[in-house]
């Protein structure tokens, strides 16, 4: 199955219609799930300073205390565009008690499949999120297949 994720220029959150479909797929699985990300050229971006290195989230699972506010505990599949390499990078992203850790799990060009394996830890999902301090600098679209 393939889902399209869109970020509009000036927004952090993506369209949320697809998030309910992901709940049963990701959270209710006992085993890790194999997914494929495919970015369009529209996902390339340049943000001044260290915010270029922020991890954008495709899927975010959170604990109940993080459901309606700052995510103290979260786990998800993340990505960013790396202009130095001219590649997209995917990450296993975790925040535990506010401390962020992320691990590179794949990279590739636009219009290329980037595989990932993920098993989310927390029972609640939030919509895809672009950036840290900066919202999406342009309209973006990418796909998630599983």
* pLDDT by 10s per residue, the chain, length 146: 788 888 999 998 886 555 655 665 665 656 677 889 999 999 999 998 888 999 999 888 888 888 777 778 899 899 999 999 999 999 999 999 989 999 999 999 999 999 998 888 888 777 788 987 899 999 999 998 87
Specify the pLDDT at position 27.
Answer: 59
Closest CA to 93 of 84, 83, 82, 106: 106
Whole-number Å distance between alpha carbons of 145 and 41: 18
- 90, 78 contact by CB (below 8 A): yes
Q: For the full predicted model, state whether its pTM sits above 0.85.
A: yes
Range of the domain at 16: 2-145
- Domain count for the chain, please give it: 1
Give me the long-range contacts of 85-89 (CB less than 8 A, separation at least 24): 88/37, 88/39, 88/43, 88/114
- pLDDT at residue 51 in the model: 85
70 Cβ partners below 8 Å, 6+ apart? none
């Amino acid at each position: 199955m393939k889902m399209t994720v869109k970020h509009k220029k000036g927004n952090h959150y993506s369209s949320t219609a697809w998030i309910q479909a992901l709940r049963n797929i990701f959270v209710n699985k006992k085993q890790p799930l194999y997914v494929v990300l495919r970015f369009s050229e529209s996902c390339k971006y340049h943000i001044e300073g260290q915010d270029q290195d922020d991890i954008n989230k495709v899927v975010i699972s959170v604990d109940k205390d993080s459901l309606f506010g700052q995510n103290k505990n979260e786990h998800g599949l993340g990505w960013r565009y790396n202009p130095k390499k001219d590649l997209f990078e995917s990450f296993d992203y975790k925040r535990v008690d506010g401390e962020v850790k992320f691990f590179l799990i794949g990279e590739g060009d636009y219009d290329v499949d980037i595989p990932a394996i993920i098993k989310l830890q927390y029972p609640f999902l939030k919509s895809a999120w672009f950036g840290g301090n900066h919202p999406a600098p342009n309209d973006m679209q990418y796909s998630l297949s599983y």
